[in-house]
Amino acid sequence: MPGDIRRGKTRGPFPTWVRVMDGSAALLTLPPVTPAYVQTRTSDGRPETIAVLHRADSLIADHRYAEALEALGEVSLPAVSAPDLALRILFSESWARMYVGELDAAVASLERARALAEGPAFTDIDRAEAMFRLACCRLKVGKVSNAIALFTAALALAERGVAGDLLSARILDWRSRALQVQREWEAAQADAERSLELAESVGDHRLAALALMQCSLVAERRGDPRVARLYAERSRQLARETGDRQTEARVLNNLGGLSYLLGEPEKAVGYLKDAFAISLEIGNEADSAQAVSSLAQVHLRCGAPQLAEEQARHALSILAERDDYLDERGNAHLVLGRALLEQERDAEALTELAAAEWAFETFGSGSHVAATWVAQADAYRRADDTDAAMTLYRRAAEALQDFHF
């Protein structure tokens, strides 16, 4: 990756550190299903099937989703002879498919899981988990309101006790992400803090790291990057202690953005390069693309538009048509459009900004769409089309205001 960055000014306003502060990019690893657990819940689960499921869930815990799917391809679905085992297989398969970008297939598996869980052999916590996982897929494709409704319904079904607290912590973590997309900061903070409390109460440090990351994201979006950095540093420490390299890489990405906002661009580049290296080490190309996109934004803001262009295009080449990374694709297009504007390539810039607008609208983030309108307005202002520029500036301001009457 490129080395030093150059200080300098860039033209026009920038959105708040868009890329790294979007909580929806953060992923969640569910606890693996152990053979002992399955044997206590299945009437006639075959040992070989249980062993494969255990291996697949271990791979998912290590974020090796493609390998998990390959392992699960070796077993059939015993929906009649062992419905509990079938439900766990559907849960694992759908979770892995969601993270390799096969969202339609993941939703199809979860619809089967949801129907299966309605049977008398299952509990409310099984039904809550099916609903929760479906909500995660909905959020990934930008159906934010639907996702929040499903998270809320799942939370109402979750039972008390360790298993219920673990599930509730996961639901609250994800609902916080959805609420952040809708700019409901108070509710998002409350969910993140409650998720952290539950994770700590049951001693799950991986979940605690994820909850701390959401606390950090909310603090940054509410304008307090110093508090956000404190949360992020605690999250990184827990991720390292639990060996969760993927979460560590994502927190490093966020720390890069926070360091830039706090006036430490060299430190920001260091964090982002570390995030890039860890993502490559664990084989997560999409996360490595996010780190490259973040580096592009830092270089753009520090006066290196050509380097920013190169990095943004590289990020887009990796993310390609990944619909589960719509927010990051939008960010990369936005940075690329800004970089092209800095190089006075206005027509190309408007094409990239239109792509950013589409991605953000599809994802459902009004604040990101507004940031794109501001960038488009800057382009029209450069072309002396003040009417078009003022229309876009006004549209962005109205989209972000808190009252309308």
Q: What are 267-280's pLDDT values in tens digits?
A: 999 999 999 999 99
Q: In the numeric block, which tokens belong to residue 149?
A: 């409704």
Q: What are 220-269's pLDDT values in tens digits?
A: 999 999 999 999 999 999 999 999 999 999 999 999 999 999 999 999 99
Q: What are 207-226's pLDDT values in tens digits?
A: 999 999 999 999 999 999 99
- DSSP letter at 402 equals S
Q: Count CB atoms within 10 A of the CB of residue 300.
A: 27
Q: Is the pLDDT of residue 16 over 50?
A: no
Task: Tell if the pTM clears 0.85, that is, is over it.
Answer: no
Residue 67: its pLDDT value, please? 92
Which ranges constitute the DSSP H helices of 182-224? 185-201, 205-221
- Mean residue pLDDT across the chain: 86
Q: In the numeric block, which tokens belong to residue 374?
A: 């501001």
Q: Is the pLDDT of residue 11 over 60?
A: no
At 95 the three-state DSSP class reads helix
Residue 321: its pLDDT value, please? 75
Residue 141: its pLDDT value, please? 85
